[in-house]
Chain A
Amino acid sequence: MSLRVSPWRALAPWLISLLVLLVIPMLVSGNGTFSIINLIAINIVFALSYNMLLGQGGMLSFGHAVFFGLGAYGAIHGMNLIGDAGYDGQGFWAHFPVYLLPLVGFATGALAALLVGWPFCRRAGTAFAMITLGLGELVAAGSQMFPTVFGGEAGVFSNRMVGPVWFGLELAQPADVYWFSAFWVLLAVFAMWAFTRTPLGRLSNAVRDNAERLQFIGYPPRNLRFLVFIAAGGFAGLGGGMAAVNYEIVTPESLGLLTSGLALLMAAVGGLGVFYGPIVGAILVTVMNSLLSDYTDASILYVGLVFLAVVMFAPSGLGGGIEQVRQAWRRGDLAAHLPGWLGGALAVVLIALGLVGTIELVYQLSHGRDKLAQVLGLQPDPSSPLVWLGVVALFAAGFGVARASKNYREARS
């Protein structure tokens, strides 16, 4: 990678992102769509903040949702304070717009990470993974005990239509919240990208790659990990703050292992090694989760399978794949690689279709039809051997193409 790039080239991704964010509301309509887009924005921030730990700092965390959830709780309590202060119009909270609540989330998340993080950051690797797992379980279980703070099973709810409104930016409909989400996601992504450019961001890569060497140079790895941990906690909290404003409710579920796993899932599917990887992952996983759950009860299974496939066959994730294509294009030998890659993609599609077929057929056998089969226009009969033969044929074709394209790629290189 060349160090000197023209300012236009460096600005281009941001200008394009801004343009996309401005164009989206002209293309889509309906509260449902905006809800999904808002959720994507939240998850992008969450996944990117997770990647500050895992991808850039080499710290595998199973408790990142703690900071996301605490940030959300901080923001929702802030929202309630704004609502209460609205009656007499006195004090700090009476002048605090709901629009800025993600900042409260950021502060809460960073503060939580600051308070608990120091003993955790002594080592990376398995010890860190285990202790964050413990923290996650501890906070999730502990949240049930303090109903005044965490609201028990039902959670804490609030109303975002309170407080001062700046520039007429109301937050009534999901379409209004879109501008809120767009603003914060762009700001947060830019801030996290800028973080990777700071000396601290660079050093966090170094502590990931060779902590011992860094120690010798005179940077204690623990301090660096701690600082990264705080920053990641802050940005996770910012995402939580966005979620609090979007949903107007926060439940203890947002602190738990499932939410932590979601961050890991999104970041790993998108690719840990590329900055924009988690963005791709967040979009894909959120869309899959939201759309598939309307059609099939097996949606989580599909997400899990995609994750497994990425870990096994494409460890650099979707972002890594995009980066590979982009670099080949820059070098000018995309045409030479393309047939091999397309063959691989075709194999993936065939095998995936075979898997979907198997899962849906098994599901039909045990539960009766679900909607995905109907949407695809198929009415397969799981008792007929012909259908199963078709599934087997899909698998066979998939593995055949995979093999052929692999041979082709190896022959070319």
Chain B
Amino acid sequence: MLEIIVFSTLNGLLYGLLLFMLSSGLTLIFSMMGVLNFAHASFYMLGAYFAYALGLHVGFWPALLLSPLLVAGLGAVVERFGLRRVHEHGHVAELLFTFGLAYVIDETVHLLWGSIPVSYTAPEYLRAPLFSLFGTDYSIYRGVTMMIAVLMFVALWYLLRKTRVGMMIRAALTHGAMVGHLGHNVPRLFMGVFAFGCALAALAGVIGGPLLSTEPGMAQALGPVVFVVVVVGGMGSLLGAFYASLLIGLVQTFFVALDVSIGDLLNAVGFGVDPYGEVTGITLASIAPMTPFILLVLILIFRPRGLMGELEP
């Protein structure tokens, strides 16, 4: 039991941190431009695939840097020539644009790299065990991933709170017009934030690719969950996104790890039901993929502004 708890906590934290990497970019973009970027998870996928393709030529570590840069460039192009053009037609048009973009990116990946997973893995020496607990190994790579995620979180905090650019971004979040009047180039700032958010997503893809699997379905698998994180955390709240990421990461991992059915739970609190019935026989593990969406629907019904958000969406 202790083994399950320790490893589920570690894995849940790791998954949560990955989710946060994705959702932090999405939250930044949303709070700044009011756009819920449907293609965000597609940029995450592109990050993983670019890292795989580059890694074949330049090695793992350079690819870790190059891939997010490449995706950032792509994000900048998308913002400059796509979103900005659609912006004048309103938010629905923007949402539709990113929805179509997700289609196109996913299909392009299909076309270029095929529909089966590619063998994107971490270098051999990173796959060695970092430590062993209860006879189960915890690889160095997982440790490194967690470290990169935490470093990214600190860097993001520093960037937003302690630098001049961060000040401009925070100011533009609430008083965009005023920042413009003060002589700052707000559209360029928007482009920068969009590119930066895409780079964060790509970074998540680069380090998450070897952990999860690098396949054309990875964007569709994670995309909706990232939306849930942003909405549950509260639209535009980075801290909220952080808590929501960890919450969803932990809940989902624990649900997968626990071999208990609904009937077992009901019986444990005094109901006498058949633990193998159609409804009562459903295991928590099979509910795990649904938990984020259950959370989303509940939050939107009972607390529409999310955990930490100030505004209702």
Contacts and interface: CB of A to CB of B under 8 A. Distances in A.
A25 interface: no
A311 B108 CA distance: 19
B91 A125 contact: yes
A297 B297 contact: no
A137 B293 CA distance: 7
Nearest to B103: A304
Interface of B is mostly: helix
Interface string A87-120: 0000000000000000000000000000000010
Interface stretch (A126-134, A195-203, A373-381, A398-406): A126-134
A352 to B, nearest CB: 14
B281 to A, nearest CB: 10
Contacts of A311: 86, 93, 96-97, 100
A129 B111 contact: no
Nearest to B115: A297
A138 B96 contact: no
Interface residues of B, number: 44
B300 A304 contact: no
Is the interface on chain A under 10, 10 to 19, 20 to 34, or 35 or more residues? 35 or more
Interface stretch (A29-37, A140-148, A237-245, A286-294): A140-148
A169 interface: no
Contacts of A54: 92
Interface string B285-298: 01101100110110
B269 interface: no
A134 B97 contact: no
B240 to A, nearest CB: 15
A393 interface: no
B129 interface: no
Interface of A is mostly: helix
B111 A297 contact: yes
Nearest to A131: B300
Residue of B99, B104, B227 with most partner-chain A CB within 10 A: B99
Given A119-B301, A125-B313, A359-B111, A308 B95 contact: no
A2 interface: no
26 contacts: A125-B313, A126-B36, A126-B91, A127-B313, A131-B301, A135-B293, A137-B293, A141-B289, A145-B282, A257-B220, A257-B224, A261-B99, A261-B103, A264-B96, A268-B96, A297-B111, A301-B104, A303-B103, A307-B103, A308-B97, A308-B104, A311-B93, A311-B97, A312-B86, A315-B89, A359-B111
State the 10 A-B residue pairs at the shortest beta-carbon distance, nearest first.
A304-B103, A301-B107, A134-B296, A308-B100, A138-B293, A126-B313, A127-B313, A304-B104, A307-B100, A134-B293
